[in-house]
């Protein structure tokens, strides 16, 4: 069952997401290299996955977090960070789909990067996107973020996607295929593989908006909880979703004997756990006024999503 939005005066989440998504698309188009010159083929591979129609959840979370603490967030300040997060996310999807990892043929409703450009080029496309993200993070075309805060944003994102974060989570996920792990390990895999980048997206936005230490703490809890919920729902959709709606294979987790929440707890209990996790995320924002409604709605959207 869908959780109903509880903020009647707030802009409908679909309208909000469409508006923000369009802004992110414009930012991606502005910053990403054009497919021309001697590197045309390589850049085509980067652009193929980047513009394949993702939901842009991580950049939107970053922008929403910044706007929650600073109503007057300047797009020239926040957009390079938001786009960097989407570049990192897209790199992780390209590499995750490789034959050596999940060996998937469909992503975002299209053939995966290596199916179109070949394995070597897909690896390089991921490498290029990851590296470009850090170039973007150093871009300071406004003075709204002071250098210390910018370094903090870069450090948080680097740690979140490195070996003690997303990369490590992926390593644990692959190593746990076909073997029994306990719930603590499963939670750790989900928090690292998916939660870390989502948490960092919220934290980066909070820092860009000059959050107070208390606001940053609350946003961190919120980010960790929605990050976990995001992967729990991803597990559910791998069982209950359709290939058409998801734009990627369904049933693949069971086929690969992956440790997932539904495998552990069954579908009904998993739904309840996802819902409780999202409710806790909303509770973490209780000290914010209605300025945080976009983040509250985004938490519900993560629970309700069907793709």
What is the Cα–Cα distance from 124 to 18, expressed in whole angstroms? Answer: 31
Return the one option of ligand FPP, Mg ion, none that residue 92 interacts with (CB less than 5 to 8 A, by type). Answer: ligand FPP
What is the Cα–Cα distance from 42 to 40, expressed in whole angstroms? Answer: 6
**To the nearest 5 percent, what fractions of the chain are helix, strand and coil?**
70, 0, 30
Largest CA distance in the chain: 53
Q: Under a CB-based contact definition with an 8 Å cutoff, are residues 62 and 227 in contact?
A: no
Binding mask 150-189 for ligand FPP (x = CB under 6 A): ----------------xx--x-------------------
CB atoms within 10 A of CB 98: 17
Return the one option of ligand FPP, Mg ion, none that residue 16 interacts with (CB less than 5 to 8 A, by type). Answer: none
**Is 96 a residue that touches ligand FPP (CB under 6 A)?**
yes
CB atoms within 10 A of CB 302: 24
Q: Under a CB-based contact definition with an 8 Å cutoff, are residues 199 and 155 in contact?
A: no
Answer for which of 194, 203, 215, 238 binds ligand FPP (CB under 6 A) is 194
- Judged by beta carbon, residue 32 or residue 69, the one nearer ligand FPP is 32
Q: Write out the residues near Mg ion by the rule CB under 5 A.
A: 96, 102
Choices 53-61, 66-74, 214-222, 265-273 (CB under 6 A): range interacting with ligand FPP: 53-61
CB of 172 to Mg ion, least distance (A): 14
Return the one option of Mg ion, ligand FPP, none that residue 258 interacts with (CB less than 5 to 8 A, by type). Answer: none
What tokens does 12 get?
């409908």
Binding stretches for ligand FPP (CB under 6 A): 54-55, 57, 89, 92-93, 95-96, 108, 166-167, 170, 193-194, 230-231, 234
């Amino acid at each position: 069952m869908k959780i109903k939005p509880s903020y009647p005066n707030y802009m409908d989440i679909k309208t909000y997401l469409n508006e923000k998504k369009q802004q992110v698309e414009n930012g991606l188009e502005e910053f990403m290299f054009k497919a021309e010159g001697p590197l045309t083929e390589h850049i085509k591979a980067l652009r193929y996955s980047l513009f394949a129609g993702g939901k842009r959840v991580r950049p939107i979370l970053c922008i929403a977090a910044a706007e929650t603490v600073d109503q007057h967030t300047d797009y020239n300040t926040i957009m390079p960070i938001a786009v960097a997060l989407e570049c990192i996310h897209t790199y992780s999807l390209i590499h995750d789909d490789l034959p050596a990892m999940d060996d998937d043929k469909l992503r975002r409703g299209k053939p995966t990067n290596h199916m179109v450009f070949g394995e070597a080029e897909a690896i390089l496309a991921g490498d290029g996107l990851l590296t470009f993200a850090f170039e973007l993070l150093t871009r300071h075309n406004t003075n709204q973020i002071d250098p210390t805060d910018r370094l903090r944003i870069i450090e948080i994102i680097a740690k979140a996607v490195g070996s003690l974060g997303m990369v490590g989570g992926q390593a644990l996920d692959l190593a746990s295929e076909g073997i029994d792990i306990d719930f603590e390990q499963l939670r750790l895999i989900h928090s690292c593989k998916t939660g870390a980048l989502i948490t960092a997206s919220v934290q980066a936005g909070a820092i860009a908006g000059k959050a107070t230490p208390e606001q940053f703490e609350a946003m961190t809890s919120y980010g960790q909880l929605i990050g976990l919920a995001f992967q729990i729902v991803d597990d559910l959709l791998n069982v209950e979703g359709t290939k058409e709606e998801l734009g990627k294979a369904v049933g693949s987790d069971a086929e690969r004997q992956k440790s997932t929440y539904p495998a552990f707890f069954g579908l009904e209990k998993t739904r309840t756990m996802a819902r409780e996790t999202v409710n806790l995320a909303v509770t973490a924002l209780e000290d914010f006024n209605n300025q945080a409604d976009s983040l509250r709605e985004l938490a519900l959207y993560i629970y309700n999503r069907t793709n």
